[in-house]
Structures are given as C-alpha cells and as structure tokens.
C-alpha cells in the first residue's frame, strides 16, 4: 500500500436504491441505516440520456423525509442543469452529473456548489478520461461508470479497473481529496480490486438488495471482502 492509499479513509458503500423494493422504501433505507451504511445512491434516469426511466423528484423527497442517510444523487438526464436546483431542494446531499449530458460541465459543477451541495462528475465506459480533467479540481466526487448506465444488474466491465487506477493518478497529481466512486456491476468479488486501484466509494445495487438474506447480508459481504 502506498502512503497515499494508507491515508485514505475507509471505503464507503453507497447502495443503489434502484434495486430496492420501492413499495418498502422506508424500510429499505432503515435497514441500510441499521447496517451502518452512511450513503444511499439515487439513480435518476430520463429515458433520453439513457434508454430507461427510473424515478425522479418525488421519490428523492420521500426518501429524504424518512431517512437521515446522505443522498448521493446520480443524474442520468439530458441537460441536468435544468433540474439541479429542484434536486437540491428535494433533498440531495451530492449531485453527480454525466459529462456527456451537458455542453457546459464546468458551469453545471459550479451550480451544484453554489447550491451548497457536493458536486460530482461521471463518465460512461466509452468516454475518454480526458473529458473530466478540466473539472477535476472543482469536484468533490468522481464516478467511474463500470457499465453503460441505464439498468441495474449488468455485468461489470473489467477494463474499468484500469480506468479507476488512471483517475486515481489524475486526482493524486493535483492533490485532490475527491471521492473516487465506481458504479455498475460492483460486487463483493470485484470490490477488493477496485479499492486497490484507488476507489474510495463503491455503489452496488443488486449485490446488496438482491443478496440472499437481504440488504444487511449484502452489506456484510462487502465488509468481509474489504476487511
Ligand atoms: C446504472 C446505475 C447504477 C445501478 C447499479 O445505470 O447508475 O447505479 O443501479 O446497479 P448494479 O449494482 O446492480 O449494477
Ligand atoms: Zn448510479
């Protein structure tokens, strides 16, 4: 382990609510809280940026009402700047925008921070990492997508590990303390390799909510893998 890696805080899990039972949203959030998970990942899809529609503001607001968890909102929507204020007001703590979804990524990141929220940037598996370099110093979180966004339960793209390693280098080079998050097909089996490559924050949907024994067991499997 390098000194920089040793100095990093413990890996944070951000379970993706996309895979939870929406009819029991409050209970699912409570289970996460009881399991000591501090974040919940909220996947917003508009049927345009990605070929699927998930949910939007009312679900985030409902989650916010019943849970103290940090709401980690991942916007997979065209021109997210149109809705940043609404998501901030609905209860987001962090807002992550796709670099491909706006012509003005620098402005979008600035707007998130002006709203008093933590700003994240993310990119699809086919987007060159150079696309995020201009805003790296301005973000609190970088998310490396390890599937093509749009659906839960997809297979992890193995080349993502190298992309995480490269983003880790890019962040360390500028002395950034930003979270380095990975999302898509993350499991207790590939978690270790991602953390070794420099990830500090793992999103997992089906691996947590689909775990035999429920979400608490899913969380425990990650803890065991990372111990
Ligand atoms: C994919 C979403 C992910 C997804 C992860 O478009 O951004 O957050 O819910 O789900 P799993 O862990 O099942 O791949
Ligand atoms: Zn996501």
Counting ligands in written order, the one closest to the CA of 73 is 2
Q: Is residue 7 part of a domain?
A: no
Would the pLDDT of 172 be above 90?
yes
Who contacts 159 (Cβ-Cβ below 8 Å, separation ≥6)? 125
What's the pLDDT score for residue 14? 98
- Distance, in Å, from the CA atom of 37 to the CA atom of 202, rounded to the nearest integer, reads 12
- Cβ-Cβ contacts under 8 Å for 46 (sequence gap 6 or more): 53, 76, 77, 78
Retrieve residue 186's tokens: 């993350």
- The per-residue pLDDT for 4 is 57
Closest ligand 1 atom to the C-alpha of 147?
1
Average pLDDT over residues 107-127: 98
pLDDT score for 179: 98
Q: 41 lies in a domain?
A: yes
Does residue 5 surpass a pLDDT of 80? no
Q: What is the pLDDT of residue 8?
A: 61
Binding-site residue numbers for a divalent metal cation are 41, 43, 74, 183
Top mutation candidate among 205, 215, 218 for ligand 1, by most atoms within 8 Å of CB: 205
28, two tokens? 């699912």
Domain annotation covers residue 93? yes
Q: Is residue 55 included in any domain, yes or no?
A: yes
Q: Report the mean per-residue pLDDT for the chain.
A: 96
Q: Is the pLDDT confidence value at 1 over 60?
A: no
* Closest alpha carbon to 201 in 28, 37, 21: 37
CATH of residue 166's domain is 3.20.20.70
The verdict on residue 35 lying in a domain is yes
Instruction: Give the chain's domain count.
Output: 1
Per the rule left: phi > 0, alpha: psi between -120 and 50, beta: everything else, 173 is alpha
pLDDT band at 58 (very low <50, low <70, confident <90, very high): very high
Q: Which residues are catalytic?
A: 43, 183
Q: Whose CA is nearest to atom 9 of ligand 1?
A: 152
Average pLDDT over every residue of 45-64: 98
Q: What is the DSSP string of 161-210?
A: HHHHHHHHHHHHHTT---EEEEESS--TTTHHHHHHTT--EEEESHHHHT
Q: Which residues are annotated as a binding site?
A: 16, 41, 43, 74, 150-153, 183-185, 205-206
Does a structural domain hold residue 113? yes
The contacts of residue 167 (CB under 8 Å, 6+ apart) are 129, 132, 142, 144, 180, 198
Report the C-alpha gap between 33 and 39 in whole angstroms: 9
- Residue 5 is assigned to a structural domain of this protein: no
Q: Using most ligand atoms within 8 A of CB, pick from 13, 16, 210 the residue to mutate for ligand 1.
A: 16
Q: What is the pLDDT of residue 43?
A: 99
In a domain, 147, yes or no: yes
118-9-126 Cα angle (round to 5):
60
> Is the confidence at residue 185, as pLDDT, over 70?
yes
Query: What integer pLDDT is reported at residue 10 of this predicted model?
Result: 87
Distance of CA 154 to the CA centre of its chain: 15
Domain hosting 176: range is 15-226
pLDDT at site 6: 60
pTM of the entire predicted model = 0.96
pLDDT the model gives residue 7: 61
Q: Helix axis angle, 57-66 relative to 25-34, nearest 10°?
A: 50
Confidence of residue 171 (pLDDT cuts 50, 70, 90): very high
Q: Please state, in angstroms and rounded to a whole number, the distance separating the CA atoms of residues 127 and 213.
A: 37
């Amino acid at each position: 382990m390098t000194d920089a890696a040793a100095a990093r805080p413990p890996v944070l899990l951000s379970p993706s609510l996309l895979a939870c039972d929406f009819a029991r949203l409050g209970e699912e959030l409570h289970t996460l809280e009881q399991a000591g998970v501090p974040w919940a990942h909220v996947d917003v899809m508009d049927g345009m940026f990605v070929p699927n529609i998930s949910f939007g503001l009312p679900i985030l607001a409902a989650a916010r009402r019943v849970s103290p968890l940090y709401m980690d909102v991942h916007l997979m929507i065209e021109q997210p700047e149109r809705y940043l204020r609404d998501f901030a007001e609905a209860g987001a703590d962090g807002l992550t925008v796709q670099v491909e979804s706006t012509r003005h990524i620098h402005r979008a990141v600035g707007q998130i921070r002006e709203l008093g929220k933590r700003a994240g940037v993310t990119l699809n598996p086919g987007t060159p990492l150079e696309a995020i370099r201009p805003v790296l110093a301005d973000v609190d979180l970088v998310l490396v997508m390890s599937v093509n966004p749009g659906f839960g339960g997809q297979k992890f793209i193995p080349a993502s590990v190298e992309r995480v390693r490269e983003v880790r280098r890019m962040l360390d080079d500028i002395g950034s303390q930003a979270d380095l998050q990975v999302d898509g097909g993350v499991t207790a089996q590939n978690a270790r390799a991602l953390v070794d490559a420099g990830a500090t924050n793992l999103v997992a949907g089906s691996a947590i909510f689909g775990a035999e024994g429920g979400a608490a067991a899913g969380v425990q499997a990650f803890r065991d893998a990372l111990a």
